[in-house]
Amino acid sequence: MSNLVVQGYGDSHVGAVRDTNEDALIVDPKWGLYAVLDGMGGASAGDIAATKARDVVHEYVRARRSTLAPRQLLDAAINAASAAVHGEAQRRRDRRGMGTTVVACLIDGRRATIAHVGDSRAYLLRDGRLHRLTNDHTIVAELVARGAIAADEADRHAYKNVLSRNLGAKATAAVDLNEVELQAGDRLLLCSDGLYGYAASQALHQLMGAPDQAADVVRDLIDAALRGGGGDNVTAIVIDAGTQAMPRATAILRTSGAGAWWARRDRVLHAARAHGIHRSPLCAVLPPDDAIALVAGNFADAIYHDLEKSASVNVWTFAENLAVGWLGQGGAWAPLRELLDGLGRAADAVVAELRGEDVGLAGLIEAALARAMVTAETAVGGVLAQQLRTVEAELVRHAAERAKRDAEITSRFTDQPTVPFMRAAQPTDAPGPEVQHVLDGARRRALGRPAATNDRELFMRAIEHAHRVATAATDADATVAARELFDVRALDEAGVTPLYDALDAARAAHVDAVRAVPGGVGGKLAALRRAAGAYQRLSSTIAALVVESVAPTAEQLREAAAATAALRAQVTKNERKVASLERKFATIIDDDLPAGMRFDLGLDRKRAEPPPVPRRRPSKETLR
């Protein structure tokens, strides 16, 4: 089997945020050695660690290339580098703790040996699929490998960037090694975390798959990371095994195709206007010309650049930015989908025009556009999936916090009466622009409708307050609105019934108005959900307000009943006392009166009552 022609190219960029570049790289085709190192440690020590390790590895491989097998050679070279960095860190106090990652590739004939320590990575593109060859040496990756946490938790973990291995922490390093048997057309990528951390994995895949020279691919990869924020130093090495003949169709698209598209850029904008792109809810805040220039113009530019590079990364970025901006502010999926469909139809119109001039070229562009639209939808799908993950994590966190808060409240306020209109505010989501648009329209329409109640002023106030609650961001607005709507009102049926009549009439008018507002069904449904919820909260809060307001009457009744009972007890006690005195007085009279007179005084009955009164004459002291 013959050897492959291997060509590699690497480059490094300081990034968009940092002042110094602590990455280092080796590109040595003569010895088949390629490596990326990412230094760490304060006061420029990261830079020193990476440079030192790079020099030691490079020198070690050059010196022993002919005497050691690739696996042993890379293992020994990296250990030597670790010892050197560790020794340097021990000698200088200001360099304590410095270290570096490394991912190195040594190519020997068709065999590529990959060695790595830390979180710099190696990828292999084969048959259009991108495979990752290394596992990050981070705390989180090891927790995932041990099953301690789920893979989808890794991105959110507090220690996601903390390395479990590096060069320099110790004099020796545990190096992971593997080998790949290269095939013609394979493409290897070595990179630091500044690349894969800021460029989307789909962008890496797209750019690695482009039929460009390694140097161009490296440039595009670094560009993608910088557009993704460039928060770290970015280093990439691309190694091509064998040569890839560019397909003829690709070559045509890159030249004539891209040129023909660019020449019709204005036609794309015109077709986009004809398809009503500027009327999309996504463009609601922009004047029509600006909307067309921004949305359709960026779409046309992205298609052009992708045709020029035979990639889809620009369309991907365009669609992803659109989705993040729109869905991030609570926009619905349907308008975004309609906008992308509209752009696709505008592009189709241009292709149809081109078909009259060059059928073959039009067919190639049509196929490229179909791929681009699929890429755009995949990008939007990725954003939606990310949002779902975020919402799920937020729900889990919120549920845990709420359970904890409820437990605290229950333990502190058990059996304590609560005042419902003083409850703590619960945050709710603010409506997205489309829903807000529908709610505003519904409010205007509802206010213009005849009131199905005698009190039109109260009817209109009910609509205004419900609108305020429906568009509010916290639950507290419902309680405040209910109190304002309740106003000063007699606490009886004649006072409260008109309020509920007005609320019912306002709700009926408001719901009809939401249905009548022009717009998408999704937006109307979301608006109706909020409007119905607003009336439900207003009605319930007013009822709670009434219940709390009349609570003192029950308390007053309890107090009055208790006072009555106390008085009644006092009367009973006095009655007994009077009876007792009367009995005593009767005894005195009875003993002193002659026989026959007792009946006239009516005292015989009292004498017969138990207990029998002692039949003796009381002394004065006893009576006192």
Residue 575 touches other proteins, criterion: CB under 8 A: yes
Any idea which residue has 């304002």 for tokens?
484
Residue 577 touches other proteins, criterion: CB under 8 A: yes
Of 532, 590, 606, 607, which lies in the binding site for other proteins, with binding defined by CB under 8 A? 532
Of 83, 294, 496, 613, which lies in the binding site for other proteins, with binding defined by CB under 8 A? 496
CB of 329 to other proteins, least distance (A): 20
- Cβ density class 587-607: b for 16+ within 10 Å, e for less: beebeeeeeeeeeeeebeebe
Tokens of 268: 């794309």
Say how many C-beta atoms besides its own lie within 10 A of residue 422's C-beta: 9
d(CA 514, CA 440): 9
Among 232-240, 255-263, 431-439, 493-501, the segment contacting other proteins (CB under 8 A)? 493-501
Among 140-148, 381-389, 441-449, 497-505, the segment contacting other proteins (CB under 8 A)? 497-505
Q: Which is nearer to other proteins, 584 or 606 (CB)?
A: 584
Of 19, 357, 492, 600, which lies in the binding site for other proteins, with binding defined by CB under 8 A? 492
Of 359, 521, 595, 608, which lies in the binding site for other proteins, with binding defined by CB under 8 A? 521
Q: Which is nearer to other proteins, 30 or 615 (CB)?
A: 615
What is the three-class DSSP state of 19?
coil
CB of 607 to other proteins, least distance (A): 16
Question: Would you state the torsion angle of the CA atoms of residues 45, 232, 124, 82, taken in this order, to the nearest 10 degrees?
Answer: 10
d(CA 442, CA 62): 77
The contacts of residue 77 (CB under 8 Å, 6+ apart) are 56, 57, 60, 61, 64, 104
Residue 585 touches other proteins, criterion: CB under 8 A: yes
What is the three-class DSSP state of 619?
coil
Residue 309 touches other proteins, criterion: CB under 8 A: no
Residue 148 touches other proteins, criterion: CB under 8 A: no
Of 536, 606, 607, 613, which lies in the binding site for other proteins, with binding defined by CB under 8 A? 536
Q: Long-range CB contacts (< 8 A, 24+ apart) of 169-173?
A: 169/86, 169/99, 170/82, 170/86, 171/82, 171/83, 171/86, 171/87, 172/79, 172/82, 172/83, 173/78, 173/79, 173/81, 173/82, 173/117
Of 72, 152, 568, 599, which lies in the binding site for other proteins, with binding defined by CB under 8 A? 568
Q: What does the DSSP assignment read for 525-592?
A: HHHHHHHHHHHHHHHHHHHHHHHHHHHHHHHHHHHHHHHHHHHHHHHHHHHHHHHHHHHHHHHHHHHH
Residue 617 touches other proteins, criterion: CB under 8 A: yes
List, edge to edge, every strand of the sheet that includes 6-13: 6-13, 234-241, 187-191, 121-126, 129-132
Residue 619 touches other proteins, criterion: CB under 8 A: yes
Q: Count residues near other proteins (CB under 8 A).
A: 59
Q: Which is nearer to other proteins, 559 or 604 (CB)?
A: 559
CB of 571 to other proteins, least distance (A): 5
Residue 533 touches other proteins, criterion: CB under 8 A: yes
The contacts of residue 18 (CB under 8 Å, 6+ apart) are 231, 232, 233
Q: What does the DSSP assignment read for 335-393?
A: HHHHHHHHHHHHHHHHHHHHHTT-HHHHHHHHHHHHHHHHHHHHHHHHHHHHHHHHHHH
Q: Which is nearer to other proteins, 315 or 542 (CB)?
A: 542
The answer to whether 38 and 193 have CB atoms below 8 angstroms apart is yes
Residue 151 touches other proteins, criterion: CB under 8 A: no
CB of 249 to other proteins, least distance (A): 43
CB of 519 to other proteins, least distance (A): 12
Q: Which is nearer to other proteins, 97 or 498 (CB)?
A: 498
Residue 582 touches other proteins, criterion: CB under 8 A: yes
Among 22-30, 221-229, 365-373, 581-589, the segment contacting other proteins (CB under 8 A)? 581-589
Longest dimension (CA), the chain: 154
Q: What does the DSSP assignment read for 237-291?
A: EEEEES--PPPHHHHHIIIIIHHHHHHTHHHHHHHHHHTTGGGSGGGTTS-HHHH
Among 66-74, 162-170, 274-282, 551-559, the segment contacting other proteins (CB under 8 A)? 551-559
Q: Which is nearer to other proteins, 14 or 544 (CB)?
A: 544
Residue 143 touches other proteins, criterion: CB under 8 A: no
CA 204 to mean position of chain CA atoms: 24
Positions 245 through 304 that interact with other proteins (CB under 8 A): none
Any idea which residue has 């798959």 for tokens?
209
CB of 389 to other proteins, least distance (A): 19
Residue 584 touches other proteins, criterion: CB under 8 A: yes
Positions 501 through 520 that interact with other proteins (CB under 8 A): 503-504, 507, 511, 515
Residue 438 touches other proteins, criterion: CB under 8 A: no
Q: Which is nearer to other proteins, 168 or 523 (CB)?
A: 523
Residue 497 touches other proteins, criterion: CB under 8 A: yes
d(CA 568, CA 552): 24
User: In the complex, which residues of this chain contact other proteins (CB under 8 A)?
Assistant: 418, 420, 491-493, 496-497, 500, 503-504, 507, 511, 515, 521-522, 524-525, 528-529, 532-533, 535-537, 539-540, 542-544, 546-547, 550, 553-554, 556-557, 560-561, 563-564, 567-568, 570-571, 574-575, 577-578, 581-582, 584-585, 588-589, 592, 617, 619-620, 623
